[in-house]
Amino acid sequence: MSASKAARSDLLNDGRIWKGRVDKVNAELVVLTYGTIVAQLCKDFDSDYLQVNKQLDKMGYNIGLRLIEDYLAKSNTMRRCSNFRETADMLAKVGFKIFLNITPMVTNWTSDNKQFSLVFEENPLADFVELPDDGRAQDELWYSNIFCGVLRGALEMVQMQVEAHFISDVLRGNDTTEMRVSLIRYIDDELPPEDD
């Protein structure tokens, strides 16, 4: 830990630009950690899966609020996207690529360019996962719902209020894993308080 911090400040001192460095973490550790969280939530909320979805979304939201800054630092794109289509592309091809090394497909745009789907061909959170066999989880639990929250939190920080939810999941026996993302509005800059 201290060694990596020392190395980091050396980079600073040299004046070298620090970019493109992405730490790697064991994929199975992520799968197991996330799985444990979902399992614990199911236990805590007595298999009330709607509550579990909600909690996962909330956790994701709090992650997203921070993750966006890391995304901006790592992707080195300090420019705002010019439209929502560009946002979707950056999100799929840069964001998911940096943090999960996957590139979900952006598709099913509505004609007003305010709604699209992300189709996940692979989902690193869901390896080894089988939903509980209680006859309800298959219909109610969105296992990867944390993603929805992450997108919502991250985009809110760059002045986009969005709504995101899953509409299908291979874990439930669907053919694809698909998330629907809708732009609600662009958030205006906050103004400084009026002087007295």
The rounded distance, in Å, linking the Cα atoms of 190 and 196 is 18
Residue 78 is a binding residue for another protein (CB under 8 A): yes
Which span (48-56, 97-105, 176-184, 186-194) binds another protein, by CB under 8 A?
Answer: 186-194
Q: Report in angstroms how near the CB of residue 2 gets to another protein at its nearest.
A: 11
**Contact window for another protein (CB under 8 A) among 11-19, 44-52, 126-134, 138-146:** 11-19
Q: Which residues between 81 and 110 bind another protein (CB under 8 A)?
A: 82
Give the CA radius of gyration of the chain: 19
Say whether residue 161 binds another protein (CB under 8 A).
Answer: no
Asked if 28 touches another protein (CB under 8 A), the answer is no
Q: Under the criterion CB under 8 A, does residue 189 sit at the interface with another protein?
A: yes
**Site for another protein contains 50 (CB under 8 A):** no
CB-based contact 147:89 (threshold 8 Å): no
* Closest alpha carbon to 49 in 122, 128, 131, 120: 131
For 170, residues 6+ apart whose C-beta sits below 8 A from its C-beta are 123, 126, 176, 177
Per-position b or e across 148-181, b if 16+ CB within 10 A of its CB:
bbbbbbbbbbeebebebebebbbbbeeeebbbbb
Of the candidate residues 3, 7, 13, 24, the single one contacting another protein (CB under 8 A): 13
Tell me the site size for another protein, rule CB under 8 A: 31
Residue from the set 58, 158, 172, 182 that interacts with another protein by CB under 8 A: 158
Where does 15-110 have alpha helices with state H? 27-44, 49-75, 84-90, 96-100
Binding residue for another protein (CB under 8 A) from 43, 66, 93, 185?
A: 66
Smallest gap from Cβ 131 to another protein, in A, equals: 30
Encoding tokens for residue 8? 């980091």
> What is the DSSP secondary-structure string of 55-67?
HHHHHHHHHHHHH
Footprint of another protein (CB under 8 A): 5, 8-9, 11-13, 15, 17-19, 62, 65-66, 68-70, 72-73, 78-80, 82, 157-159, 189-193, 195
